[in-house]
Amino acid sequence: MIILGIDPGIAIVGWGVIDYNGMGTKIKPVAFGSITTPSEEKTEDRIKDVYDSLNIIIEKHKPEAVAIEELFFNTNQKTGIIVAEARGCILLSCRQHNLPIFEYTPLQIKQAVVGYGRAQKKQVIDMVTMFLGLREAPKPDDTADALAAAICHAHTGTSRLAEYYNKPTSMAGKIK
C-alpha cells in the first residue's frame, strides 16, 4: 500500500510517500520532501501554492491513503488560523482524489514510531531514518514528521480502514 504522510503548515508543508506491504515487511521510502511558500505572499496565494503542489505530488505518486497530523493551537493564534486554512486545502486535494484520510495526534505518531508518546523530536527522526533505511535523516524536520505520520499509519492503520468507511458518505452541500 502506498501511503502519503503530511505534516501540515503554511511556510513549510512536509510530505513523504512510503510503500508498505504488511506486518513484518520492510517499509520502502518512495519519495519525500517539502512544499514551501514565501511569507511575503498573500494568504490566498500561499494556500493555492500548497494546494497546487500537493495535487502534483498526489498525481505523481498515486497514494492509496493519506496520514495527516491533527492540528492543535497553542501560542500564535494568527499563524494557527492560516495553518488551518492551508490544511483545509490539503484535505480538499486529498478528498478530490478520493483518498481516505486518517488523522493522527503527535502523541499517536510518537507512540507508533518510537513506542513512547512523549518521545523527543530527535528520537522520532532517528527511528524514521532507521525504518526507511536512509543514509541520513530527512530534511527539514517537517519532512521527517510527515514520514513518521505515514509510518504510524502503516503500523496502526489497517484496523482504521473499516472505521473510516463506516462514517456517512458525502452528500452534496445544499445551496439555499
Catalytically active residues are: 7, 69, 142
Give bridge partners of residue 32 from the DSSP assignment. 16
For a second copy, the binding residues in 124-163 under the rule CB under 8 A are: none
Q: How far apart are CA 6 and CA 146, in angstroms?
A: 4
Annotate 12-61 with DSSP letters as a single string.
EEEEEEEE--STTSPPEEEEEEEEE--TTS-HHHHHHHHHHHHHHHHHHH
Q: Which of residues 97-116 bind a second copy (CB under 8 A)?
A: 101
Shortest distance in whole angstroms from residue 18 CB to a second copy: 18
Determine which residue in the list 62, 71, 107, 130 makes contact with a second copy, applying CB under 8 A.
Answer: 71
Binding status of residue 174 toward a second copy by CB under 8 A? yes
Q: Which residue has the cell 490539503?
A: 90
Q: Which residues bind a second copy (CB under 8 A)?
A: 33-38, 40-53, 56-57, 71-73, 77, 80-81, 84-89, 91-92, 94-96, 101, 167-176
